[in-house]
Homo-oligomer: A and B are copies of this chain.
Amino acid sequence: MTYRAPINDILLSLNHGAGLAAAVKAGHYGDFDGDITAAVLEEAGKFAGDVLAPLNKVGDEHGIKLDNGTVTTAPGWPDAYRQWTAAGWNAVSGPEAFGGQGLPLAINAACTEIWSASNVAFGLCPLLTLSAIEALDAHGSDELKAIYLEKLVTGEWTGTMQLTEPNAGSDVGALRTRAEKQGDGTYRIKGTKIFITYGEHDMTDNIVHFVLARLPDAPSGTKGISLFLVPKFMVNADGSLGARNDIHASGVEHKLGMHASPTCTMTMGDKGGAVGYLVGEENQGMRCMFTMMNQARLGVGLEGVGIADRAYQQALAYAQERRQGKAVGRKGDGMDPIIVHPDVKRMLMQMRSLTAAARTICYATAVALDVSARATDPKVRADAAARGALLTPIAKAFSTDIGNEVAYLGVQIHGGMGFIEETGAAQHYRDARITSIYEGTNGIQSIDLVTRKLGANGGASVWALTEELSGIVKQVETSNDPAFGTTGAKLRDALAALDRAGKWLLERLATAPNDALAGATPYLRLFGATLGGCMLAGEALAAKAHGDSEPQRYVALARFFAENIAVQAPSLEKTVTDSADAVTGADAVLAG
């Protein structure tokens, strides 16, 4: 089946759940005209449904081929990429000075969800280009920008992020790729990178690699890492392509999913070293890379949302068509569609509500990043930056965790057919699996949340957020809408649990950091469940207030999430606060 972008849900989430409308109204988006949002998303949905979605399965089945350093993508992919750039989709949020449309990240976030839902392996390529654009724009010299930025913004060339090496994965500081300065100001780079997404492909004439490497006298660890721009083909003064640079795909991985996305081993130095240009300062590469990674992390979170929505749409359609058994109490012959069975309804509601919650968390992250860059008031910018920093690990980890869970349920609803590759449900399940690993494993995100985001300012960013959420819960309680069921009580309990767990973690961070680290993953889940629950409740209230034609379905969705997902908060709190000894004392068990 194909994919239809859920424009109504997206708009409600973006404008009201994530706060875009309020931020625009408050003037934080300058002269951005919020009225165009719907039109952009409608067009994105059309492109995704018409061009990208039909290639999703083709890509999975054909995969990619590496032959003598050249990667061939699946049939139709290079053409789809050309259509993509021609329609301007690569340039949505790119800087206007370099050919971009300068639209908010929040709009692009919704687009990213749509690309990921229609064809996640395709969408991954521009996602990385986007990160490259951001790093180059923020840290590159004017010369580098003049040559490379517009090509990346339009998508005429794509970008890669090259961090990982065989012995440097989560521990980036351990990387060994070497860069030596040449007399002409360039650098010669030698080394091997692995797991490089779209490190080589046939969709564009050139590829712009962003490579982390170490200078000869650099300090050890992350303090001695520099970022280099390494083009596949050198660029002449007139912008034409010159010599082939000494960076080559020497292998591709055979992966569980994302078959259409080439995951390359990149070798530099077979012919004396790849020519690289320093981006930012020497030994400041991690700082530059973090610029790229935050954007990329949000993007990966949106992949989780997109895969989840696609899996949901497919499972819903199947459940509406497939007939097995009879509804309880129905007389007469014949079978009913399986959607009548409460257990199937439960799975579908779980899929939809988890997806909706993750969507709004991601969009809210994008709005915060927008406001941090666009607002005029420095206090507003600073607060938004703190909010964006806080939300990023949750957007990445919660959304990709639920992406996997939702794809799992999508297979389950298909029964035996779900296990058959032809059905397509299994592809979502396989594709989703990498999202909780790459761009920082979800464990790393949890540690980031606890140590850097909660810990950085004594929890101030967290308390500011939960106070806002508490306001939403109060509105639910005073709405007296019986359709909310026990939503208010469940969210109130969840907020209290989140609050206590956060305080406990702050205290342990100071006195027993391993205890805090042991609780990081359940804390992130607790945070996501509470935040998502409050946001969905806020959207339901907004749907009622803004005259949605069927606001009660958003109330029902928020209620389901509160009563089934947010309700886990008190147990998750206890997992954080009561189980540190069980975790840190695991050595005897694991040794035997």
Q: Which residues of B contact A557 (CB under 8 A)?
A: 589
User: Is A411 in contact with chain B by the CB < 8 A criterion?
Assistant: yes
Q: How many chain copies does the complex carry?
A: 2
* Among candidates B170, B447, B590, residue contacting A349 with C-beta atoms closer than 8 Å: B590
User: Is A270 in contact with chain B by the CB < 8 A criterion?
Assistant: no
Q: Which residues of B contact A328 (CB under 8 A)?
A: 513-514, 517
Q: Which residues of B contact A256 (CB under 8 A)?
A: 411, 419-421, 426, 429-430
The residue of chain B having its C-beta at the shortest distance from the C-beta of A319 within the complex is: B590
Total chain A interface residues with beta-carbon distance under 8 A = 102
> Which residues of A (331-356) have their CB < 8 Å from a CB of B?
333, 335, 338-339, 341-349, 352
In the bound complex, CA of A392 to CA of B72 (Å): 51
Pick from A225-233, A238-246, A359-367, A578-586 the stretch touching chain B: A578-586
Shortest distance from the beta carbon of A307 to any chain B beta carbon, whole Å: 14
In the bound complex, CA of A329 to CA of B578 (Å): 22
The residue of chain B having its C-beta at the shortest distance from the C-beta of A173 within the complex is: B325
In the bound complex, CA of A552 to CA of B581 (Å): 14
User: Is A408 in contact with chain B by the CB < 8 A criterion?
Assistant: yes
User: Is A169 in contact with chain B by the CB < 8 A criterion?
Assistant: yes
The residue of chain B having its C-beta at the shortest distance from the C-beta of A316 within the complex is: B590
Contact, CB under 8 Å: B255 / A589: no
The residue of chain B having its C-beta at the shortest distance from the C-beta of A447 within the complex is: B343
A343-B520 in contact given A437-B419, A564-B582 (Cβ < 8 Å)? yes
Contact, CB under 8 Å: A325 / B170: yes
Contact, CB under 8 Å: B443 / A416: no
User: Is A21 in contact with chain B by the CB < 8 A criterion?
Assistant: no
Residue ranges of A at the interface with B (Cβ–Cβ < 8 Å): 8, 164, 167-171, 174, 194-195, 220, 253-257, 316, 323-325, 328-329, 333, 335, 338-339, 341-349, 352, 404, 408, 411-412, 415-416, 418-422, 426, 429-430, 433-434, 436-438, 441-443, 446-447, 485-486, 490, 513-515, 517-518, 520-522, 550, 552-553, 556-557, 559-560, 563-564, 567-571, 574-575, 578-592
Excluding A254-B421, A556-B586, 10 further A-B contacts by CB distance (< 8 Å) are A8-B592, A169-B416, A254-B420, A344-B443, A486-B578, A552-B588, A553-B589, A556-B585, A560-B579, A570-B570
